[in-house]
Structure 1
Amino acid sequence: MKDFKKLNEYLSNLAVLNVKLHNLHWNVVGKQFVQIHEYTESIYNDFFEKYDEVAELMKIRDAKPLAKLSAYLENATISELDQDKFSTDEVLEIVKADLTKMKELATEIRNAADEAGDFEAVAVFEDHVAGYSKNLWFIKSMLL
């Protein structure tokens, strides 16, 4: 891969999502509090691992991953939240929308990597897409 703009967008989204998910994790209220509290924690832990993995993938390719909060906010396509109290259904709907965006972006990056013959990036992003699919299934099942 030679175009690292999408990778920096993805990295920026992961950084913003790390903070956003902490907000949801700390501020969820309702009957399923414990389940959603623990679920959002599992997602932000996963995102932090993806964040490091993507930055290292870029460094291996002599690219410069963004490393400033201001740069992440400028390049992210995921938005922050101002709210500080969320019902369990609100949390699930917010996470569902963000995971859908991330799955689409990861798929786009995976396909570009495939066209470039970058099989390592293909493997990384196929795993990311699969993870998003699984979490979207979990959310769909929780919202029934």
Structure 2
Amino acid sequence: MAQTASDLSTDAVAVIADALNQAVAETVVTTMLAQNYHWNVTGMSFGPLHALFQEIYEDHFVGQDDLAERIRAIGAVAEGKLAGQLERSKVEEGDEGASDKEMIRHLAEAQETIGATLAGLGAVAAEHGDARTEDLAIERGRIHDKFAWILRSHLR
């Protein structure tokens, strides 16, 4: 088991960094998705959704930074171009004209996508003995699971 980032093999760093960059890309796209919906939500639920979407994008901004800093800590390069993030991400940008329910559904699906990506990251990190990255993946995954639950609750 690797005790520090410098104990990771070159191969481990490459695989873990790729998985981390995937998580960063999806978090970046979902950050903007939540901000887009925060700006453009309308209807009877405007107040609570406006606040919820802000809570999501503020959390995700910190989360993307934590993930990218972990990439740097293990000695790899964090993808910093928006075009690269969009190309890599499984989460797609949203339509600012979507209904409030479409916004909620899309953001819930994005949370679940990131959650699955983070579960994969955690497994890759564990396989290579990188407990710190595994811990970060678990922590972030818990947050995305909670946001998915909160969002899905609005649709019931």
- TM-score normalized with structure 1 length: 0.93
Residue in structure 2 matched with residue 70 of structure 1 by the alignment? 83
Equivalent position amino acid for 2:144 in 1? Y
Equivalent position amino acid for 2:141 in 1? V
Give the stretch that moved more between structures: 120-129 or 68-77.
68-77
Residue in structure 2 matched with residue 45 of structure 1 by the alignment? 58
Give the stretch that moved more between structures: 44-53 or 130-139.
130-139
Equivalent position amino acid for 1:18 in 2? T
Residue in structure 2 matched with residue 139 of structure 1 by the alignment? 151
Q: What's the RMSD between the two structures over aligned residues?
A: 1.2
- TM-score normalized with structure 2 length: 0.86
Unpaired runs of 5+ residues, structure 2, are 1-11
SS of 2:90's partner is coil
Equivalent position amino acid for 1:95 in 2? L
1:55-89 residue CA offsets vs partner (Å, 9 max, x unmatched): 110111000001111221222221112x3223221
Give 1:25's match in structure 2, choosing from 21, 32, 38: 38
Contact 1:96 1:139 in 2 (8 A): yes
| Bigger Cα Rg | 2
Q: 4+ residue runs of structure 1 moved beyond 6 angstroms?
A: none
1:7-51 residue CA offsets vs partner (Å, 9 max, x unmatched): 112111122222221111111111111101110110011110111
Residue in structure 2 matched with residue 88 of structure 1 by the alignment? 100
Unpaired runs of 5+ residues, structure 1, are none
- Deviation of 1:105 (Å): 0.3
Residue in structure 2 matched with residue 130 of structure 1 by the alignment? 142
Structure-1 separation of matches of 2:100 and 2:70: 35
Q: Percent identity?
A: 24
Residue in structure 1 matched with residue 113 of structure 2 by the alignment? 101
1:84-141 residue CA offsets vs partner (Å, 9 max, x unmatched): 2232211110111111101000000011111111110111111111111211221222
Give 1:112's match in structure 2, choosing from 109, 124, 147: 124
SS of 1:29's partner is coil
Residue in structure 1 matched with residue 22 of structure 2 by the alignment? 9
